[in-house]
Amino acid sequence: MGRRRPYFLTGAILSSLALIAMPNSAALSMAAGLLWILDASINISMEPFRALVADMLPQEQRTRGFAMQSTFIGLGAVVASAMPYILTNLFHVSREHVSGTVPESIRLSFYIGSAAFFGAVMWTILRT
């Protein structure tokens, strides 16, 4: 697996599990703990990506590679933040919630984000 892929995979698995568990949290303290785990897990997965860009690109292309990496991270954040709106308005997923629960559009957004993140990391692991 090389020296970077185990970190990619470990971070992706932990991040995806945290994203799946977060909308199902029974208490605010549990959600806060999962947010902490999610942040640490994303760092485990994403920090080696910066080194991978430097390893895979020649010196004259590194700046462009880092810029593309930042662009895709930003686009992912925008799509993720828009996902509840997209699910509610384009796919007519309910945004109503029962007291003490998370709306279905939010819950599905977390699940889709988990799958997208895991899929993107797996694509990298398998294709580089």
- What pLDDT does 40 receive? 96
- Beta strand spans in 57-114 (E): none
Contact 45, 121 (CB under 8 A): yes
- What pLDDT does 127 receive? 92
- What pLDDT does 3 receive? 87
Contact 73, 47 (CB under 8 A): no
pLDDT in tens, the chain (128 residues): 888 999 999 999 999 999 999 999 999 999 999 999 999 999 998 889 889 999 999 999 999 999 999 999 999 999 999 999 999 999 999 999 888 889 999 999 999 999 999 999 999 999 98
The DSSP secondary-structure symbol of 99 reads T
For the chain, domain boundaries: 5-127
Tabulate helix, strand, coil % of the chain (nearest 5): 80, 0, 20
- What pLDDT does 34 receive? 97
The DSSP secondary-structure symbol of 4 reads T
